[in-house]
Structure 1
Amino acid sequence: MILPYEGTWPTISESAFIAPTAVVIGNVTIGDDASVWYNATVRGDIAPISISDRSNVQDNAVVHVNKDAPVVIGQDVTIGHSAIIHGTTIEDFVLIGMGAIVMSYTLLGNRCVIGAGALVSERMVVDPGSVMVGVPAKSRSALDEAAQAHLDGIAGRYQRVAANHRASVEGNRT
């Protein structure tokens, strides 16, 4: 469902996939080949949300803002199932695990990983290439080359799956 908020409609690339049960509201920009999956909510009501090219917001995730803290999601970012993203900046090639919570005013550096269930506290700055786990999230290690290469492919795989879902959804319309 794509809805306006106070007269502002989301701007969504024609190549993006928005699942039929996803909700995208208000001042939201979604880039090329990005995807928002089933039952995810992206609510740009009191500040803007930008989801860059090839990034994906998976099933049941919530992306929301603070009045003074928009959400900026870089390219090739994967936001796992049931994650909560609130008023943060996420650089490129970041993986946020299932059920993770990223609080407001945070910065997630390029190629970092936020482990499943982790809590990134307000105003935390996560260094590029870091692996963060736990509640509250703490650095466990730096990504090695193999892990970085794996990160490079995750968003691309979701892009291909999104294309298949789009074809299925469009094929089922009467």
Structure 2
Amino acid sequence: MEYLSFNGVSPTVHESAFVARGAVLIGDVTVGEQSSVWFNAVLRGDNEPITIGAQSNVQDGCVLHTDPGFPTVLGNRVTTGHNVVLHGCRVDDTATIGMAATVLNGAVVGEGAMVAANALVLEGFEIPPGTLAAGVPAKVRRDLTEADIDRFRQNAEGYVERSRLYLKGAG
């Protein structure tokens, strides 16, 4: 892992968080309690802050960035799949972003919502809580089922546990 200061501001990582080798955190980045940032992720807080809540995971190869006036904020227990791009957006608690999805400036992913793999969430688009958005551009397709919600919860909990193992040196 590499932490770089930018304009006199350095990343802040909670002592219980895991940041993998090869991940790069730059500038105004905050990683919350029991959260994880995985291999080759880049979090570049050089325009606005990037804030990650508790027990969230930013998986391998993700890019999180900002534009002036557009911070990137992840709530608690958010899952961000491999190779996701989050740019100046807000992802609320327990939401899941599928692999290789892109969420652009000013977009909001509501609490417990899911963005499907490879979806493109356009600037300013709001995904309501508890719904699935998919496609290019992303559109709301349906409400999530209890089975969906349970599967996403288990995945997020698995990343918290996996990060604990890595912190103990099991990886």
Task: Give the structure-1-normalised TM-score.
Answer: 0.94
- Counterparts of 1:17 and 1:144, CA distance in 2: 31
Aligned alpha-carbon RMSD (Å): 1.2
- Counterparts of 1:121 and 1:66, CA distance in 2: 15
Q: Deviations over 1:63-104 (max 9, x none)?
A: 000111001100000101000000001100011011000011
Aligned to 1:27: 28
Is the partner of 2:77 in helix, strand or coil?
A: coil
Aligned to 1:45: 46
The answer for unaligned runs of 5 or more in structure 1 is none
Identity %: 41
Runs ≥4 in structure 1, deviation > 6 angstroms? none
- Counterparts of 2:69 and 2:145, CA distance in 1: 35
Q: Deviations over 1:121-170 (max 9, x none)?
A: 0000000011011101111111011211222222110011111122227x
Q: Deviations over 1:11-33 (max 9, x none)?
A: 11000000011001111111000
**2:62 counterpart letter in structure 1:** A
Number of residues paired by the alignment?
A: 170
- Counterparts of 1:14 and 1:56, CA distance in 2: 15
- Counterparts of 1:81 and 1:149, CA distance in 2: 20
- Counterparts of 1:88 and 1:57, CA distance in 2: 14
Task: Give the structure-2-normalised TM-score.
Answer: 0.96
- Counterparts of 1:66 and 1:34, CA distance in 2: 24
Q: Deviations over 1:5-56 (max 9, x none)?
A: 1111111100000001100111111100000000000111110010000001
Aligned to 1:152: 153
